[in-house]
Amino acid sequence: MTRGGRRAPAGRGRDGPLTRDLLRTPGGFGLGQVPARLAPDALTSMVCGFCSTGCLLDVHLRDGRAVNLTPSTRSPVNLGMACPKGWEALTPLDAPDRATTPLVRDGHGRLQPAGWPDALREMCDRIKAIQAAHGADSVAFLSTGQIPTEEMALLGAVAKLGMGMVHGDGNTRQCMATSVVAHKEAFGFDAPPYTYADFEASDVIVLVGSNLAIAHPIMWERVARNPHRPEIVVVDPRRTETAMAATQHLALRPKSDLVLLYGIAHLLIERGWVDHDFVAASTTGFEAVREAMRAYPPDVVAAESGLAVEQLEHVAATIGRGERVSFWWTMGVNQSHQGVRTAQAIINLALMTGNIGRPGTGANSITGQCNAMGSRLYSATTSLFAGRDFTDPDHRAEVARIVGVPVECIPDRPSWSYDRIVEGIHRGEIKGLWVIATNSAHSWINQTDLHELLDRLDLLVVQDMYRTTETAQRAHVVLPAAGWGEKDGTFISSERRVGLVKRVRAAPGQALADFAIFKLVADTWGCADLFRRWSDPEAVFGILRELSAGRPCDMTGIHGYDDIEAAGGIQWPYVAADRERPAAETAERRLFAGGRFPTPDGRARFVVDEPVAPVERVDAQYPLVLLTGRGSSSQWHTQTRTAKSPTLRLLHPSELHVEVHPDDAAPLGIESHDEVEVRSRRAHLRARAFVTPTVPPGSVFLPMHDPAVNRLTFASFDPHSRQPSYKHCAVAVRPVGR
């Protein structure tokens, strides 16, 4: 036994039967051919691989190869629409910097091409050596919300059940952790309750910290289709594209959301806009809320949030009088120092007004990446498969039985969160790291010491489509991965819809589907026998189906990929009885109808807390708050994919711009297009100024797509979700060269 109480592995990596097959077949696994299920000159549909909307795209094949795509008209999700990223989704696959062969760093520090067996042996031997010396939990992995669910599940199984790892988290920590915790505490399960039809059915739509027009353009199109002339309330310090189209824009002081939401609750209670029947039948904890909300009268809230008392009265009346009010939130809430309580304050408003479980209502967290929802349920990082708990012996026994592994293989403690893994490297507890489909060296908060920490690792393995990412550049071993369009599996969208992705292109060179890579790692490690049932993505889907039985995310009614194909995507839950229902009834469904929730007593829970100030304060030296987020609908995160499309590059600025309010720019003599320096207490960067009243005075905005931005951000975290607070730190701006 080792420090972590987990078995330390023995023996060396070897070529198992799979790896030997691979050796005999240069190019590997026949990835060059279009799968038998697709006719060579046909149209086939699959879900987009960028955002969580899950638009269905029709892919046009010629001689078995995808040559074009158009948005599908047969899906209720996107109704024939796609945003620029969807239209351009095939282009990044052809980029010249694709990783086409495994790379291993040589004695001179250079990454050199290697064969798969050598790279896999290098990886496994070094992990085993580290674990033997420092314990099984001294090697961790970081994964993603962007690979198919089947691949995520296989990774979780191979790394934790097969290789003895304990700690593995995902980039979803940067994105969704807050909503996960808020949902579990309030609803009893991590379940976004809505369907996109709710955008069209509401008479009031409240968007908190969400720039839907840019980050989820097709959901925004669904809002535009709403025939009820809805009131659209946008809560965002910036006058975003979304806020410009709103009927009420609450440009609150950054990070004053919790006070604002409590102030709205105060007014709803005072003015008698509480649905007491719903509260009595379907919730617990309202009396504590009523008591706590006394402390948030409009004058106090106005002073804290920078809004006018009339604005507060107006928004409360809009919500109170609305018949079908839906509340939606994204990163302006999740990425804050008190994200979980803020999300729950939104849930409180929906519960106290009875706006949940009916068409056009809901407390609705919008997810980010194409498969964030698959990661939340099946990646075996934070929770055990299908929303189970690693610490619950019954849950472990159930999973061991279904998956067919000895129960001792399943860790009995949850993983460290991403920030704790990074801290583990700092403390010398984590010596090896395997990074899959995330670009930490650009996207993680406060990069100041991350690069140095990554360099300190005894082993960094990076598995990515591209060899040029900031993280791959620092790796000892790079494993070349196939991307979206080059492999099979399923994604789960924001509205819980399971959709198919397919291999419609050959991966370049020796790149392999992540699924194949995980199988080869297991083979080389010597634990492939444990995963014999996990033979291909559809077989794994079958295992996940079994794991979902009786859980709120039950999908036992989906018998296989053909069902998903025929329906164009199926929302969970979907049980055997759903198969008998008319398709129109199951096409678009929401949760919690009848006011029942998956808590032990069937009731939703109100949660309240004391608002606290963000950790890093502005002062005379650093007088401005830095907000960060998405820059345009044509840029995706760290730009490894979207920057490869000439069309998408035309749709966004070619240089980094910082948005500065005229009142802040004037005294500094800054005009649009001037080169400026943005400095935080940790680092500085150069950018062009864009002087604009869309940012509030006292704040500046930088898009997250430039690697320099996270050298400025300040590492503070929500205490309950450990999600980084990317949207608040103190900076100064000054002109350069004058």
Ligand X SMILES: Nc1nc2c(c(=O)[nH]1)N[C@H]1C(S)=C(S)[C@@H](COP(=O)(O)OP(=O)(O)OC[C@H]3O[C@@H](n4cnc5c(=O)[nH]c(N)nc54)[C@H](O)[C@@H]3O)O[C@H]1N2
Q: Which spans of this chain sit near ligand X (rule: CB under 6 A)?
A: 51, 144, 146-147, 171, 174-175, 208-211, 214-216, 235-238, 240, 254-255, 257, 330-332, 335-336, 368-369, 436-439, 442-443, 463-466, 469, 481, 483-484, 514, 627-630, 633, 635-638, 640-641, 704, 709-710, 713, 726-727
**Element containing residue 309 per DSSP (H, E):** helix 309-321
Q: Phi and psi for 509 in degrees, rounded to 5?
A: 55, -130
* Identity of the amino acid at 213: A
CB of residue 372 vs ligand SF4: minimum separation in angstroms? 12
From 49-57, 277-285, 347-355, 694-702, give the range in contact with ligand SF4 by CB under 6 A.
49-57
Residues near Mo ion, by CB under 5 A: 175, 368
| Residue 82 interacts with which of Mo ion, ligand X, ligand SF4, none, CB < 5 to 8 Å by class | ligand SF4
> Could you give the angle at which helices 514-525 and 116-134 cross, rounded to 10 degrees?
60
Whose CB is nearest to ligand SF4?
86
Q: Of the two residues 217 and 598, which places its CB atom closer to ligand SF4 in the complex? A: 217
Least distance in Å: CB of 88 to ligand SF4?
9
- 469 binds, options ligand X, ligand SF4, Mo ion, none, Cβ within 5 to 8 A by partner type: ligand X
Q: Which of 22, 31, 48, 301 binds ligand SF4 (CB under 6 A)?
A: 48
First vs last C-alpha separation in the chain: 63
Task: Give the pair of three-digit tokens for residue 129.
Answer: 């050596």
Q: Taking contact as CB under 6 A, which single stretch among the options 47-55, 303-311, 409-417, 558-566 is the one that binds ligand SF4?
A: 47-55
Site string for ligand SF4, 6-45 (x = CB under 6 A): ----------------------------------------
Which secondary-structure segment (H or E) carries 434? strand 432-436
Shortest Cβ 287–ligand SF4 spacing (Å):
42
Q: Residue 71 CB, nearest distance to ligand SF4 (Å)?
A: 7
| Least separation in angstroms between CB 642 and Mo ion | 14
Q: Which one of Mo ion, ligand X, ligand SF4, none is in contact with 425 (Cβ closer than 5 to 8 A by kind)?
A: none
Minimum distance, C-beta of residue 80 to ligand SF4, in the bound complex (Å): 11
Q: Which residues contact 474 (CB under 8 A, 6 or more apart)?
A: 441, 451, 454, 455, 460, 462
What is the smallest separation between the CB atom of 217 and ligand SF4, expressed in angstroms?
5
Write out the H or E segment, with its range, that includes residue 200.
Answer: helix 197-201
Among 19, 53, 174, 211, binds ligand SF4 (CB under 6 A): 53
Query: Which range touches ligand SF4 (CB under 6 A), out of 83-91, 235-243, 385-393, 448-456?
Result: 83-91
Residue 218 binds ligand SF4, judged by CB under 6 A = yes
Q: Which residue in 217, 339, 374, 489 binds ligand SF4 (CB under 6 A)?
A: 217
Rounded-to-10 torsion of CA 673, 679, 684, 685: -10
Q: How far is Cα 182 from Cα 179, in angstroms, rounded to an integer?
A: 5
Measured from the CB atom, is 514 or 523 closer to ligand X?
514
Residue 658 Cβ, how far from Mo ion at the closest point, in Å?
A: 22
Q: Are 331 and 175 in contact (CB under 8 A)?
A: yes
302 alpha-carbon distance from chain centroid: 33
Cβ-in-10-Å burial (0-12, 13-18, 19+) of 463 comes to buried
Q: Does 85 bind ligand SF4 (CB under 6 A)?
A: yes
Nearest C-alpha neighbor of 342 from the set 241, 242, 210: 210
Nearest distance, CB of residue 333 and Mo ion, angstroms? 13
Identity of the residue, 175 or 513, whose beta carbon is nearer to Mo ion in the bound complex:
175
Q: Which residues contact 329 (CB under 8 A, 6 or more apart)?
A: 179, 207, 208, 209, 210, 342, 343, 346, 364, 365, 366
Q: At closest approach, how far in Å is the CB of 582 from ligand X?
A: 33
**Buried b / exposed e along 161-184 (16+ C-beta atoms within 10 A):** bbbbbbbbbbbbbbbbbbbbbbbb
d(Cα 354, Cα 466) in Å, to the nearest integer? 48
Phi, psi of 371 (to 5 degrees): -130, 35
Per rule CB under 6 A, is residue 500 in the interface with ligand SF4?
no
Q: How far apart are CA 305 and CA 254, in angstroms?
A: 8
Q: Which residues bind ligand SF4 (CB under 6 A)?
A: 48, 50-51, 53-55, 78, 82-83, 85-86, 217-218
